[in-house]
Amino acid sequence: MKRTLIASGLLAIAAALIPSLAQAASPAYTLNVSSSLTVDDPMFKGLNQFKEQVEARSGGRIAVKLFPSSQLGPDEDVLEQARSGAGVAVLVDGGRLAPFVKEFGILGAPYVVDSYDEMRKLVTSPLLETWNQKLRAASGHQILSFNWYQGERHLLTMKPVSKPADLAGVRMRTPGAPVWLETVRGLGATPTPMPWAEVYSALQMQAIDAAEAQHPATYGSRLFEVIKHVTKTHHIYLITGLVGSKAWFDKLPADLQTIVREESLKAGDTASKATNDSLANYEKLMREKGVKITEVDVAPFVASTAAVYDKLGYGELRKQVNATLGKK
């Protein structure tokens, strides 16, 4: 009789534990994070940290899965998935958010800041948080953080470049957002919109003549095999944000919302430091591959791209940005 009672009791305890064990084994929320970059890019140091810390701090309630090299599709497609409420997030620049909230485009405007520190100050300011709230209302996106620095963008060409006139008639790959198109025009080239994944073959087949990018992406995509020159124009300090779905984010309990945003900011700083620490080595590696890397006087490029702000209606907004940065 005693054995029967003990066995019955153990069975009851086991039955009570099974649902909780199943719940612990199965996350309540899943976030699929997409990037066009390869796993060798410094950004992935931050993305891996984000995954580890969110899963740890949430006690396994959130599972984070990373998808490099555009495995979930082009960035624009992932942004559309986020709009529909899917549990996805993607590292994107401000230009891709500008169709929803125009202000974001200025983050990718030429020479808007003079250093990474200035960009970090801007993207963690109350000004950017007001843009985030506009974005939530306008498109249903949620910014987790916008401090993922990928490096300064430079010119990637087959011929030497020292001034905007040298780019006349040069077909240069660009993302399709207006701020990128106008910036490339301002630099002196003919913009050719194209997904990043197609750039290598397009250069190889001479469908385009040039591109512009930051060192980690240039090296990660092996573009040193199909270009001869990197001209350091520093025309854009490429800052990106981890952008997901408002609907997905709003379903999270308040404590998990806090964890996701805090860890995204911390991971963005880790990724940014990794980027800054990597730049000199990328230059060394590309020189060893035969690429000529040249510093030039950027003043002509600053002057030739100055009109981008008025063309896109960013004149007044730039004053707000300068005020945020304490600049005249």
**pLDDT value, residue 14:** 45
**pLDDT value, residue 37:** 86
**pLDDT value, residue 59:** 97
In the chain (328 residues long), the average pLDDT of successive 10-residue segments reads 46 46 70 92 95 98 96 94 97 93 95 95 97 98 97 97 98 92 97 94 98 95 97 96 98 98 98 96 97 97 96 96 93
Q: With a threshold of 0.95, does the pTM exceed it?
A: no
Whole-number Å distance between alpha carbons of 64 and 260: 10
**pLDDT value, residue 49:** 98
The dihedral sign for the CA sequence 187, 192, 197, 201: negative
Domains of the chain: 29-325 (3.40.190.170)
**pLDDT value, residue 328:** 76
**pLDDT value, residue 312:** 94
